[in-house]
Chains A and B, each alone.
Chain A
Amino acid sequence: DAGITQSPRHKVTETGTPVTLRCHQTENHRYMYWYRQDPGHGLRLIHYSYGVKDTDKGEVSDGYSVSRSKTEDFLLTLESATSSQTSVYFCAISSTNTIYFGEGSWLTVV
């Protein structure tokens, strides 16, 4: 158990509404990540954080923002959800050159 909790685990939302996914870690690791996973594309990095208030973009960051006000929490926000953001989202933490994933948040935008 990597000590990562994601919430909500499942969510259905309407196009144009804001959505926030939360990731909580108990391991006190510096690096945290948000990925999305889609058929044919695999895991794609959205944003990552290397410390409190320190974040950077990944390869698919458009339409997403993040915040990290505490070491243990990393929030992913979809400001105005679109159908193309229907996906499963994984939070991850890294430790000693490897990466551990949460159980995922399934988001459907209708």
Chain B
Amino acid sequence: QKEVEQDPGPLSVPEGAIVSLNCTYSNSAFQYFMWYRQYSRKGPELLMYTYSSGNKEDGRFTAQVDKSSKYISLFIRDSQPSDSATYLCAMSSNTGNQFYFGTGTSLTVIP
């Protein structure tokens, strides 16, 4: 069993829709949770970073962590064609220097 599971999609939504991206994990030691956006032929770009449980909001993006369920989510409100990319989740424990990644979800926002 992989440490981090992420549905690869692809996910296709109309412009303006609310998008929900999710990852599950198995290691209860994970404390730091990240979401990356990766455009085609580019490197992953850090989008959201949260510590432990709870929500964090940044503009149209909300990251949510439920440690009791070992489940994290990224919500995108009012999705735009420029949000079309692959989204990767990542996490690490308190040791802080080993990172575990989902395989990424491909998102297309249709104008």
Alpha-carbon separation in the docked complex, A94 to B88 (Å): 17
| Chain B residues close to A by CB (< 8 Å) | 8, 31-32, 34, 36, 41-46, 49, 51, 88, 90, 92, 96-97, 99, 101-104
| Chain A residues close to B by CB (< 8 Å) | 31, 40-43, 48, 50, 90, 94, 96-104, 106
In the complex, the answer to whether A104 meets B42 with C-beta atoms within 8 Å is yes
In the complex, the answer to whether A40 meets B103 with C-beta atoms within 8 Å is yes
In the complex, the answer to whether B44 meets A90 with C-beta atoms within 8 Å is yes
Chain B residues with Cβ under 8 A from A31's Cβ? 97
Chain A residues with Cβ under 8 A from B42's Cβ? 103-104
In the complex, the answer to whether B46 meets A98 with C-beta atoms within 8 Å is yes
Q: Identify the interface centre among B41, B44, B103: most chain A CB within 10 Å of its CB.
A: B44
Chain B residues with Cβ under 8 A from A106's Cβ? 41
Alpha-carbon separation in the docked complex, A31 to B96 (Å): 10
Alpha-carbon separation in the docked complex, A101 to B97 (Å): 14
17 residue pairs from A and B, CB less than 8 Å apart: A42-B102, A42-B103, A43-B88, A90-B43, A90-B44, A97-B92, A98-B32, A98-B46, A99-B90, A100-B46, A101-B44, A101-B45, A102-B43, A103-B43, A104-B42, A104-B43, A106-B41
In the complex, the answer to whether A97 meets B101 with C-beta atoms within 8 Å is no
When A and B form their complex, which 8 residue pairs have the shortest distance between CB atoms, in order from nearest? Answer: A42-B103, A101-B43, A97-B32, A97-B96, A103-B43, A43-B101, A101-B44, A31-B97
In the complex, the answer to whether B43 meets A98 with C-beta atoms within 8 Å is no
Alpha-carbon separation in the docked complex, A32 to B103 (Å): 21
Alpha-carbon separation in the docked complex, A102 to B103 (Å): 18
Alpha-carbon separation in the docked complex, A48 to B44 (Å): 18
In the complex, the answer to whether B104 meets A42 with C-beta atoms within 8 Å is yes
Alpha-carbon separation in the docked complex, A103 to B45 (Å): 9
CB-CB nearest in chain B for A35: B101
Chain A residues with Cβ under 8 A from B96's Cβ? 94, 96-97
Known: A42-B88, A104-B41, A104-B43. A99 touches B103 (CB 8 A): no
In the complex, the answer to whether B49 meets A50 with C-beta atoms within 8 Å is no
Chain B residues with Cβ under 8 A from A99's Cβ? 34, 46, 90, 92, 99
